[in-house]
Amino acid sequence: MTTSSELFQRAQQLMPGGVNSPVRAFRSVGGAPFFTKSAQGATLTTADDRELIDFVCTWGPAIHGHNNETIRKAISEALNKGTSFGTPNPYEIEMAELIIDLVPSVEKVRMVNSGTEATMTAIRLARGYTKRHKIIKFAGCYHGHVDSLLIKAGSGALTLGNPDSAGIPESLARETIVLPFNDPEALENAFASYSDQLAAVILEPYPANVGLIFPKSGYLQQLRKLCSEHGAILIFDEVMTGFRVSAGGVQQHEAITPDLTALGKIIGGGLPVGALGGKAEIMDYLAPLGPVYQAGTLSGNPLAMAAGIASLRMLEEGNVYQRLEIMGEQVREAIQTASKESGIPLQIPQVASMFCIYFSEKPVENLDDATDTNTDRFNKFFHTCLENGVYIPPSKYEANFISTAHQQGSIDQACDVMVEAIHSL
């Protein structure tokens, strides 16, 4: 048997940092990553034959657990008919109908292959539609590795200490205005200063690549109002929160209607899928109808569509969100009790099946607050959990996910491990 450490040795000779996506490398928590050889339900099996209860859920997509039978069957049926056609296929229509049905603001949709492609296209479309250049984003929000958006970004970039990536021309960066999240005054000021230059505002309505942050009451409404008044496109990046917070995402949960929505992760059922959707009038600016170019050789791929359709259909069955919420609350209550009993101060924001543990005395409202939380404690907590069979994201800036496959047994077991880990800090 080849161990994780042997595999990582080889991988480092072949791939930068031994990984194909930076956060997987465990650089912020220290140590070497494990390799996974298979995954089933709520469990990962490592190359070292360890079984881990997984709260990363492939960074969000696996809301139905790993290797879900229904999704696997859907892929396998599609596989019998061919892997890619390069022409329109019927799955694309079914997928579009589902998305338009589930996500309140979406009237038309374009399928892409990743969340990054969805946000990249959203920005280009907003610029093409408004004939303006500047965009507002928020510190700590991550929108994939799009040049214009990789400025004060969260997630991996933040974890590795370079929220501003090298390789992005200053001339481009100048078109991106970065504001602190949850600061109504900063928002008013930016709109006053840039009014008719603003093409779009893009945000994660619940920033979840900086842990998990909720907007203050009225903040999203203020944003919607300012965008409408100034003719800027409001883009919700719901790549993570879409189909996760509710079937219709944060926009349904908070009853706010964005102009464009970026989707990804759950929408692919574990295969590489993203989507951009929104008002028909704006979406029709995309080629071939409109002047904004966007394309994709494998976009709308039948296997990926089949997996995504199966994943979305299952969200409508069997009280999925209610079951997930109950598990989310159980974790939050267990961690809160452990905090009180151990005297270790922490915050555990939770909504539906997402949660994050910040080792901090005060609530986290923006990037600065998240940065100020205790990194040493988080890293120790991470490693203690991992040693005891529970895999949480390897960075204090990431959200945890629960799947329907976690069920009572894994949740009880994981809570015991996390509670013990807090007591041992």
Catalytic residues: 142, 237, 265
Q: Which one of the spans 2-10, 234-242, 291-299, 412-420 is the region binding ligand PLP (CB under 6 A)?
A: 234-242
Compute the least distance from the CB of residue 51 to ligand PLP, in Å: 26
Residue with tokens 């190359």: 47
Residue 259-278 contact track with ligand PLP, rule CB under 6 A, x = bound:
-----x---------x----
The span from the CA of 256 to the CA of 192, in Å, is 22
Residues 204-223 that bind ligand PLP (CB under 6 A): 204, 209
Compute the least distance from the CB of residue 209 to ligand PLP, in Å: 5
Asked if residue 54 lies in contact with residue 39, where contact means CB atoms within 8 angstroms, the answer is yes
Which two structure tokens, joined as six digits, stand for 5? 């450490």
Point out the residue whose Cβ comes nearest to ligand PLP: 115
Compute the least distance from the CB of residue 72 to ligand PLP, in Å: 21
Residue with tokens 């219709």: 248
The answer to whether 237 contacts ligand PLP (rule: CB under 6 A) is yes
Asked if residue 236 lies in contact with residue 257, where contact means CB atoms within 8 angstroms, the answer is no
CA-to-CA dists, residue 350 to 293, 324, 342, 404, angstroms: 39, 11, 21, 16
Cis? peptide before 288, omega within 30° of 0: yes
The answer to whether 240 contacts ligand PLP (rule: CB under 6 A) is yes
Residues 79-118 that bind ligand PLP (CB under 6 A): 114-116
39 forms bridges with which residues in the sheet?
A: 44
Residue with tokens 């603003």: 198
Residue with tokens 């390789």: 167
Compute the least distance from the CB of residue 301 to ligand PLP, in Å: 14
The span from the CA of 240 to the CA of 262, in Å, is 9
Asked if residue 177 lies in contact with residue 148, where contact means CB atoms within 8 angstroms, the answer is no
CB closer to ligand PLP out of 204 and 254: 204
Give the count of beta carbons closer than 10 Å to the beta carbon of residue 275.
30
CA-to-CA dists, residue 228 to 70, 176, 250, angstroms: 42, 19, 19
Binding-site size, ligand PLP (CB under 6 A) = 14
Among 239, 267, 357, 392, binds ligand PLP (CB under 6 A): 239
The answer to whether 398 contacts ligand PLP (rule: CB under 6 A) is no
Compute the least distance from the CB of residue 157 to ligand PLP, in Å: 11
Phi, psi of 294, rounded to the nearest 5 degrees: -160, 140
Candidates 162, 156, 166, 164; CA nearest to 25 is 156
Asked if residue 311 lies in contact with residue 271, where contact means CB atoms within 8 angstroms, the answer is no
Q: Give the number of residues written for the chain.
A: 425
The span from the CA of 155 to the CA of 145, in Å, is 11
Among 28, 68, 119, 339, binds ligand PLP (CB under 6 A): 119
Amino acid letter, residue 75: I
Compute the least distance from the CB of residue 240 to ligand PLP, in Å: 4
CA 292 to mean position of chain CA atoms: 26
135 forms bridges with which residues in the sheet?
A: 176, 200
The answer to whether 393 contacts ligand PLP (rule: CB under 6 A) is no
The answer to whether 246 contacts ligand PLP (rule: CB under 6 A) is no
Give 149's Cβ-side CA count (13 Å radius): 26
Amino acid letter, residue 67: N
Residue 142-181 contact track with ligand PLP, rule CB under 6 A, x = bound:
xxx-------------------------------------
CB closer to ligand PLP out of 237 and 369: 237
Q: Which one of the spans 2-10, 232-240, 350-358, 407-415 is the region binding ligand PLP (CB under 6 A)?
A: 232-240
Sorted by sequence, the CB contacts under 8 Å of residue 6 that are 6+ apart come out as: none
Binding residues vs ligand PLP (CB under 6 A)? 114-116, 119, 142-144, 204, 209, 237, 239-240, 264, 274
